[in-house]
Amino acid sequence: MIIPEIRKWLVLGAIFVLLLLLGSILAMCHAKDEAREANAGKTIADGRTAASADVNDIRDAADERIAAINADVKDATDAIRNAPTADARNDAALRGLCDIDPSASPDCRLLDANPR
């Protein structure tokens, strides 16, 4: 038979071991949560980086398109100013318009089919 004093210490020791076990389980769960949060933060940061790169690509493409349109407008304006007759000016204006936006006029298809 176990002496009541020893039994009390054995019960307290068992409770202490159970509390240590519970604390270690809770610490492991907390560590897993922190790892998930860190992974989620990395995923969000990667998404933001990719979105920023996409925005830069779109802006660069738009800048290139604007520069091309400006060059086409300048060329068309020069062609109109240097045309000797009214018909030549109209033709240069239509060609300039069709260079910028081929769907702007049904006559653009005729110019594409019959270039000069």
Query: So what's the pLDDT on residue 113?
Result: 64
**Looking at the domain assignment, is residue 106 inside a domain?**
no
**Looking at the domain assignment, is residue 41 inside a domain?**
yes
**Looking at the domain assignment, is residue 86 inside a domain?**
no
Spell out, as residue ranges, where the chain has pLDDT lower than 70. Answer: 1-2, 112-116
Query: So what's the pLDDT on residue 19?
Result: 92
Cα separation, 44 vs 99, whole angstroms:
43
Query: So what's the pLDDT on residue 82?
Result: 92
Determine which helix (DSSP H) or strand (DSSP E) holds 39, and give its type and residue range. Answer: helix 4-82
Query: What angle (nearest 5°) sits at the alpha carbon of residue 45, between those of residues 41 and 48?
Result: 140
Cβ neighbours of 91 (radius 10 Å):
17
Report the predicted TM-score, pTM, of the whole model to 2 decimal places.
Answer: 0.53
Query: In the numeric block, which tokens belong to residue 12?
Result: 């307290």
**Domain total in the chain:** 1
Q: Which residue has the tokens 């005729």?
A: 110
**Looking at the domain assignment, is residue 114 inside a domain?**
no
Query: So what's the pLDDT on residue 64?
Result: 95
**Looking at the domain assignment, is residue 40 inside a domain?**
yes
Query: So what's the pLDDT on residue 70?
Result: 93
